[in-house]
Structure 1
Amino acid sequence: MWSSLTASFSKLGLRNAAVAGPSVASPVRSLHMTSAARPSLRTTPASPTSQLGSARHKSNLAPRRTKYRKAHKITIPFNTGGSTKGTTVQEGVYGIRLLAPARLSAKQLVAAETALKRKLKVVKGAQVFLRVFPDIPVCIKGNETRMGKGKGSFEYWACRANMGKVIFEIGGPVEIRPEVAKEALRLASAKLPVPTEFVTTASAPRLGNKVLQPAAASSATDGPDSTPAPTSS
């Protein structure tokens, strides 16, 4: 009886092998794969963005790399040398200018830019220019922490802006009405922790608290030249 069952099972196995054909590989043959078919054990090094779990997008105001990991916290200097660089509108037509020195964080700049673009959405073709960029790492220590033991952990990116620095400009190939531009820049300045003023391409440069006037205008306001009285011989 057992011999008949064994013979029947052996015939059934041979029949299944014949039906399957040569396409089915044997388990012994699968152990001898070629080098091209074997999975590679060599792994490529992961990029810094993949290690962090996120990529740097255009809307993220942060530098790609810095020379130093941390920076000193310094007092923003006051322009006393007579330089008026960055105090006039260069890229656009309208802009806002700081009336006090400040340290602006990346979050504040993004909020101001978002409010500005939302207001200018109705003007097709209007462009927004950001004249500063947050590249200073700000480190903060916890409350009630003893002095020493290092500077603290990184918190956010920021930038230092002097008094009179133009932060945002708007312009482009289309014409923007002054009232629309003034309202949009007012909404943007509300997101900044420092007072600002509305400027145009015709605005004079600023040196600290003083607005510099052109030389021709200053000479015209001096009044007529006084001529000396003739002397008798």
Structure 2
Amino acid sequence: MTSLFNGASTLASSFRRLSLASSSSTLLAPAKASNALFQPRNVLQVRNKALMPRRVKHRKSATGRVAVALGGSIKGTVLEHGDYGLRANQATRLTAKHLEVCEATLKKALKPIRGCQIWLRLFPDIPICIKGNETRMGKGKGTFEYWGTRARMGKVILEIGGPNLRPEMAKTVLRLASAKLPCTTEFIDRNSSARLGYALVPHVPAKSPVTTRGALAAAQAADSAPVEAPAPTL
């Protein structure tokens, strides 16, 4: 009888130990939240296709003034990739939202035309910081608000091109995009002149720095060709 009682007490104690272990494991295990309200805040967000730099040297920088081209440079005032484009008529600051809206407008308008491409000649890489109204001076720079860039007078903002894109269609589409910008623009094509301030400068495309074998052979053949002597005059 005593051995039976000892066996029953041992069995009960083992069951008690097993129940305590299972309850502690359920308490220590994290509960899966079914509602998104209980999800952690510091979730790593995937970078979308928004126009923003991946990394900058300084977290904050001066907004700066838009430079005026006085040195005679016409860089960035003519097309380089596409067949048609928009060129700024005045110096202005553009935000990333301006460029994103312009790009979305062009993609929507050029969707029926096969083979069209869009090139943005500006990129918002300047962090714009703003302080609240009626704030005392000092206490550091304001908080970051958005990304922006500077567009000087005569700068090409965007370009479009494609094998099936006609000039009248390109002009209509670029007029829709220019309505989204805070400055006046002009329509340009491959035959448009470069711009230096308010003056138009004839543009001569630079020679390619790469010399092909065919061009080199043609130049050597032209140099080695015999020169005919002029006919004597009577």
TM-score (norm 2): 0.69
- Counterpart contact for 2:115–2:164, Cα < 8 Å: no
- 2:186 matched to which residue of 1? 197
- Does residue 1:131 correspond to 2:115, yes or no? no
Deviation at 1:131, TM superposition (A): 0.6
Instruction: Give the one of 91, 96, 103 matched to 1:106.
Output: 96
What secondary structure, in the 3-state scheme, does the structure 2 residue paired with 1:83 have? coil
- 1:186 matched to which residue of 2? 175
- Count of residues paired in the alignment: 175
Instruction: Give the one of 143, 149, 159 matched to 1:153.
Output: 143
Instruction: Give the one of 77, 87, 92 matched to 1:87.
Output: 77
Q: Distance in 2 between matches of 1:183 and 1:175?
A: 15
Give the direction of change, closer, same or farther, for the CA distance of 1:52–1:97 in structure 2 (3 Å limit).
Answer: farther
- 1:140 matched to which residue of 2? 130
Give the direction of change, closer, same or farther, for the CA distance of 1:117–1:77 in structure 2 (3 Å limit).
Answer: same
- Residues 103-126 of structure 1, C-alpha deviations (whole Å, 9 max, x = no match): 100011101111111111110110
- 1:16 matched to which residue of 2? none
Deviation at 1:161, TM superposition (A): 1.1
Q: Distance in 2 between matches of 1:160 and 1:210?
A: 21
Deviation at 1:214, TM superposition (A): 5.7
Moved over 4 A (4+): none
Q: Distance in 1 between matches of 2:197 and 2:43?
A: 42
What secondary structure, in the 3-state scheme, does the structure 2 residue paired with 1:114 have? helix
Which residues in structure 2 correspond to 1:40-79 (within 5 Å)? Answer: 51=42, 53-58=44-49, 60-79=50-69
- Residues 17-75 of structure 1, C-alpha deviations (whole Å, 9 max, x = no match): xxxxxxxxxx7xx9xxxxxxxxxxxxxxxxxxx956422122x0000000000111211
Give the direction of change, closer, same or farther, for the CA distance of 1:115–1:214 in structure 2 (3 Å limit).
Answer: closer
Identity, % of aligned pairs?
51
TM-score (norm 1): 0.69
Rg larger for: 1
What secondary structure, in the 3-state scheme, does the structure 2 residue paired with 1:143 have? coil
Deviation at 1:154, TM superposition (A): 0.1
Give the direction of change, closer, same or farther, for the CA distance of 1:107–1:52 in structure 2 (3 Å limit).
Answer: farther
Q: Distance in 2 between matches of 1:79 and 1:163?
A: 8
RMSD of equivalent CA atoms: 2.6
Q: Which runs of 5+ in 1 are unaligned?
A: 14-26, 31-49, 216-233
Give the direction of change, closer, same or farther, for the CA distance of 1:115–1:158 in structure 2 (3 Å limit).
Answer: same
- 1:162 matched to which residue of 2? 152
Q: Distance in 1 between matches of 2:121 and 2:203?
A: 24
Q: Distance in 2 between matches of 1:113 and 1:136?
A: 19
What secondary structure, in the 3-state scheme, does the structure 1 residue paired with 2:111 have? helix
